[in-house]
Copies of this chain bind each other. A is one copy, B any other.
Amino acid sequence: MENQNHQALIQKLLNCALACENCAAQGFKEAQNAMMEKCIPMDIDCADICMLAARLLQRGSDIAHEFLLICEKACRMCAQECAKHDHEHCKKCAQACNECADACHEHHSKLNQD
């Protein structure tokens, strides 16, 4: 695993966390019930998990790579929910989540090959 990929993944994790924070913040302003029940809580969980994943990777933690699996799942769940909504921030969030989930998956797969 080259360090370059590592940094690219960390950047995707942070991008995803920021997109989730933004999606939640915009959702709060719009105050629509459909958003509230599922989308915003998932944004917050996903942001928390992505931020911690980025930090574990940056630390070189022994548990970082296994943590990417739960992170991938959180991103997929959030992307799936955000894709149901037409808001621009939801679309951006769904995209950031899917890119992040793909990067987590790829990173984990490569490590298992090595």
User: Which of B18, B63, B74 interacts with A73 by CB under 8 Å?
Assistant: B63
Contacts of A61 in B (CB 8 A): 41, 45
Residues of B within 8 A of A18 (CB): 10, 54, 58
In this assembly, does A44 line the interface, its C-beta being within 8 Å of a C-beta of chain B?
yes
21 A-B pairs whose Cβ atoms sit less than 8 Å apart in the complex: A21-B55, A21-B58, A21-B59, A24-B59, A25-B41, A28-B37, A28-B41, A31-B33, A36-B36, A40-B40, A41-B59, A42-B62, A45-B59, A45-B61, A45-B62, A49-B63, A49-B67, A51-B51, A52-B52, A63-B70, A63-B77
Residues 22-47 of A contacting B (Cβ, < 8 Å): 22, 24-25, 28-29, 31, 33, 36-37, 40-42, 44-45, 47
Q: Which residues of B contact A70 (CB under 8 A)?
A: 63, 66-67, 69-70
**A56 proximal to B (CB < 8 A):** yes
